[in-house]
Amino acid sequence: MECNRNCKTCASICENSCPICGTKGKKVSSVTVKSLIKGDFLFDENQDIYLCVNKKCSVAYYQENHPKCYYKEEVLVPIWFKEKYNQYMVCYCHQIYLNDIVELVQHIDEPNLTKKDVCKYLNKQHQEDCLHRNPLGTCCDTLFQNAITYAYKQKQEEK
Ligand SMILES: [Zn+2]
């Protein structure tokens, strides 16, 4: 059986899994962590840092075999998938929540809005800086597109 790094009974040392929930994490840049944590940076600079991707776990960032882990409360922005629906931030650079997109699509009579359009209509067109603002340190393009698709689906269902 292939190790999915997600079992509690595994005897081998599972690397990069969350110290609390055991879910395999997603590697993030220390630059991202440094700009988003509330307190001091206590991690080992030479080791990889991971984000716990389990939506039910309150751990945000951790390192393997490091006593310190940062909980989501210690992060300056909501980690959307660990929050309630109204806290689902899609684009951290522009502070756009899923709800903003749903409402925009609801009230606008255009069939194929893009991320660019949404930013324009919401009047949020400043510089993107995902590395410093997004808790995953990556661009939100895919998530944003999914959010738009979701918004149109919602609109369709309400008709
Ligand atoms: Zn976890």
pLDDT (tens digit per residue) in 137-151: 999 999 999 999 999
DSSP H helix total and E strand total for the chain: 5, 6
pLDDT given for residue 16 in this prediction: 84
pLDDT at residue 29, rounded to an integer: 96
For ligand 1, the distance from its centroid to the CA atom of residue 11, given in whole angstroms, is: 19
Whether 5 has a pLDDT exceeding 60, the answer reads no
| Banded pLDDT at 36 (limits 50, 70, 90) | very high
* The pLDDT of residue 75: 97
User: How far, in Å, from the CA of 91 to the mean position of ligand 1?
Assistant: 23
The reported pLDDT for the residue numbered 134 is 97
Backbone dihedral angles phi then psi of residue 90, each to the nearest 5 degrees? -90, -50
pLDDT of res. 91: 96
Quote the ligand 1 centre to 24 CA distance (angstroms).
Answer: 8
Those residues whose beta carbon sits under 5 angstroms from the ion ligand 1 are 18, 20-21, 52, 54, 57, 59
State the distance from the centre of ligand 1 to the C-alpha of 53, rounded, in angstroms.
7
The whole-number average pLDDT for the span 111-117 is 94
Report which of 45, 130, 56 is spatially closest to residue 89, judged by C-alpha positions.
130
* Model confidence band, residue 7 (pLDDT cutoffs 50, 70, 90): low
CA of 57 to the centre of ligand 1 (A): 5
pLDDT in tens, 57-108: 999 999 998 999 999 999 999 999 999 988 899 999 999 999 999 999 999 9
Instruction: Give distance in angstroms: CA of 65 to centre of ligand 1.
Output: 14
**Residue 39 reports pLDDT greater than 60:** yes
Tokens of 153: 């689906």
CB atoms within 10 A of CB 121: 16
Contact status, residue 113 vs residue 148, Cβ threshold 8 Å: yes
Q: What is the pLDDT of residue 35?
A: 97
